[in-house]
Amino acid sequence: MHVSEKMTKIELRVSTGLAGIFGLRMLGMFLILPVFAIYAHTLPGGENQMLVGLALGAYGLTQAMLQLPFGMASDRWGRKRVIYFGLLLFAFGSFVAAYANDLYMVILGRSIQGAGAISAAVMALLADLTREEHRTKAMAMIGSTIGLSFAASMVIGPVIYQMIGVPGMFALTGVLALAAMGVIYAVIPDPKGSHFHSDAEVAPARLSDVLRDMQLLRLNFGIFALHAAQMAMFVVIPFALREAGGMPEAQHWKIYLPVMLAAFALMVPAIIYGEKKAKLKPIFVSAVAMLLLSQLLLTVLIRDFWGIVAMLLLFFIAFNILEASLPSLISKIAPARAKGTAMGVYNTSQALGLFVGGVVGGVLSHYVGQWAVFVFGAVMSALWLSMAASMKTPPAVRTKMYHLEPMAADAARELSRRLTSLNGVMEAVVDAEEGAAYLKVEMAGWDEEGVTKLIEGGA
């Protein structure tokens, strides 16, 4: 077997197509974030900040509940069927929110949106349609698309709000979900066969191991805390920008555009330095400290316009670094055989953070005041900082995956032993049933030629 260095045209089409699906869905989720809290106050029930926070975070709860079951259902009933169903749910929820006459109906619509939890099923389809040696690149394309969609939503959300309002934004989200179904049908081929992939799917048998791993739990709490702080912030930030600076919400893009561009520009060299110099932990801990600082200072600067802008910049520098580095840390720390399971728990923790952040932000804003929302974010950040500072330095490794021809279990164990004995190979798992080899190798100096010879020889 020849280990190809380049993705095929089909793999590129699949990767870009599924990245586009993720991007459209996340754009729809986050498009309302910069303006929703202000719009909600115009609806019956919107005078209650608790309900505003619940409306913002509601989709996170249903997404957390259904994300893993949808992935498992795709093993049984087919990837595309589950994805179509999830996109229909998402579109239906969007239209419910678009035509809502009060905040309670918006909460219902947001909950239905979250119930269209297709992430795990999409990743499983990606795994079916890409070879192991190129899957990490394909997943990276999806990850970068999600990040770009979030940044774009912060900038264009206020502009679209001025044009069509929040109901129109919800309706647009529904249309985008229906368009995504068309992309799945027209662009993404049907897989020749679907089977379980350790790197992309959750294995129920490995859940207990992942949930007992203290290093992974630190990271899971981190993504929970990060998104809880983020969602809580946006219960009050739109009001704060309008009140402190006299800037109408339709103009808030003038703040978010330079903030997001600067945050991205500062994030990239930090991540590259951390990965290449094996300094990911110091970069990571520093970013958590920046997150904590932004929350602490917002408690006292929430009525100072330029103070808010400066803290948004600090927050999003930290946010971008952490969003980019957390999946990498999960990949480095998780056992090769349980990477998909670890990522599934991680994604569920993220969704729960969105829900908790929205609800807690709404409660604190309603009963205590805007400043209390950032005390919550500071407490979450401080807890995370203590965990991050005490975590083990992640190994300077990267994951490599290879497709294998069918082989007996004994031959798979022997191949695994021989791969592990090679220079720079830290862990090797050969799964005869999946027909794949999962390796963790040192960042530089590993015996790539020796690995390739063993893989191509199949023994």
- Local confidence band at 1 (pLDDT 50, 70, 90 cut-offs): very low
- Report pLDDT for 439: 85
- Report pLDDT for 164: 95
Instruction: Record the tokens describing residue 8, joined without a space.
Output: 């095929």
Checking if the pLDDT of 429 tops 80, the result is: yes
CATH 1.20.1250.20 range(s) for the chain read 1-201, 206-394
Convert the pLDDT of each residue in 361-377 to its tens digit.
999 999 999 999 999 99
Checking if the pLDDT of 2 tops 60, the result is: no
- Report pLDDT for 459: 46
Please tell us whether the domain made up of 397-457 is placed in CATH 3.30.70.100.
Answer: yes
The fraction of the chain above a pLDDT of 70, given in percent, is 98
pLDDT greater at residue 228 or residue 275: 228
CATH 3.30.70.100 range(s) for the chain read 397-457
Convert the pLDDT of each residue in 396-412 to its tens digit.
888 888 878 778 888 88
Question: For the chain, what is the mean pLDDT?
Answer: 89
- Local confidence band at 85 (pLDDT 50, 70, 90 cut-offs): very high
Residue 400 CA to residue 414 CA, distance in Å, equals 18
Encoded amino acid at 318, one letter: A
CB 238 within 8 A of CB 38: yes
The fraction of the chain above a pLDDT of 90, given in percent, is 51
Convert the pLDDT of each residue in 146-172 to its tens digit.
888 888 899 999 999 999 999 999 999
How crowded is residue 20: how many other Cβ atoms within 10 Å of its Cβ? 20
User: Taking residues 59-76, what's their average pLDDT?
Assistant: 90
Checking if the pLDDT of 458 tops 80, the result is: no
pLDDT greater at residue 353 or residue 139: 353
Checking if the pLDDT of 394 tops 90, the result is: no
Tell me the sheet residues that pair with 441.
398, 425
pTM: 0.90
Convert the pLDDT of each residue in 313-348 to its tens digit.
999 999 999 998 888 888 888 887 888 899 999 999
- Report pLDDT for 4: 53
Topology (CATH level 3) of domain 206-394: Growth Hormone; Chain: A; (1.20.1250)
Checking if the pLDDT of 91 tops 90, the result is: yes
Considering the domain delimited by 1-201, tell me its CATH architecture: Up-down Bundle (1.20)
Q: Which of 57-61, 290-294, 368-372, 437-441 has the lowest mean pLDDT?
A: 437-441
| CB-based burial label for 200 (10 Å; 0-12, 13-18, 19+) | buried
Most confident of the ranges 208-217, 360-369, 394-403, 423-432: 360-369
